[in-house]
Amino acid sequence: MKKLLLTALFAAFAASAAFAGAKCETHPKSEWIKQEDFKKQLEGQGYKIDKFKVSGQCYEIYGKNKDDKKVEIYFDTKTGKPVKSPHRWAGYLAAALVLSRVLWGFVGSKHARFADFFPTPRRLRAHWQDMRQGRLDAHAGHNPLGALMMLWLMALVLGLGVTGYLLGTDAFWGDDRMQELHEALANILIGSVGLHVLAALVMSRLGGINL
């Protein structure tokens, strides 16, 4: 069960990173700086704004600062002060951890290696037949269906990392479609985590196995 909880917590962390924008204070809209006035204020500070939008309780811009460096910045809607957002680095951390697990899958301990549990069609068929016949034996590593889900979760986390990185490139800077794909992957990841936990709990109960 510890392994299951760690997997679920890690995947949930990776998914939440995609949504973890800046945490701005909530102010009545009557107290917000008018958008046009704030844009002029930022331009007066040397910002070149490519895109300006409202993100939750924040103003968010994509553009360049006075040093001509690309920036994505959140601002408090009342004070106009910048608000820090760690979500990009959290996403990169999650992707780095997955890449570390991929490496460990080739050089790690016996049951951590992909060769030990990779869900080949033959293994999946055999596992499915065992399940149909009520044979739910414990596996030292991952069972084939669990391995398939683990690889799926890893692929989603890497997809989040890649789309997050692309959003910082010139080609996709502030691109709504890429942002929507990024958020869709996060939603799929959250749903997959829930399915994984539910399936593991059901299998544990039916087979009396501590997953």
How confident is the model at residue 20, as a pLDDT? 55
Residue 47 main-chain phi, psi, to 5 deg: -80, 140
How confident is the model at residue 28, as a pLDDT? 95
Classify burial at 30, counting beta carbons within 10 Å of its beta carbon; exposed 0-12, middle 13-18, buried 19 or more. exposed
How confident is the model at residue 36, as a pLDDT? 95
Ranges of the chain whose pLDDT falls below 70: 1-21, 134-141, 203-211
The DSSP output letter for 195 is H
Cut 0.85: pTM above it: no
Residue 101 main-chain phi, psi, to 5 deg: -70, -35
Edge-to-edge, what's the strand order for the sheet holding 82-83? 48-55, 58-64, 70-76, 82-83
- The kind and range of the H/E element at 51 are strand 48-55
How confident is the model at residue 95, as a pLDDT? 86
* pLDDT, tens only, 126-146: 878 877 776 666 555 578 888
Whether 95 contacts 154, CB under 8 Å = no
How confident is the model at residue 159, as a pLDDT? 92
Beta bridge partners of 73: 61
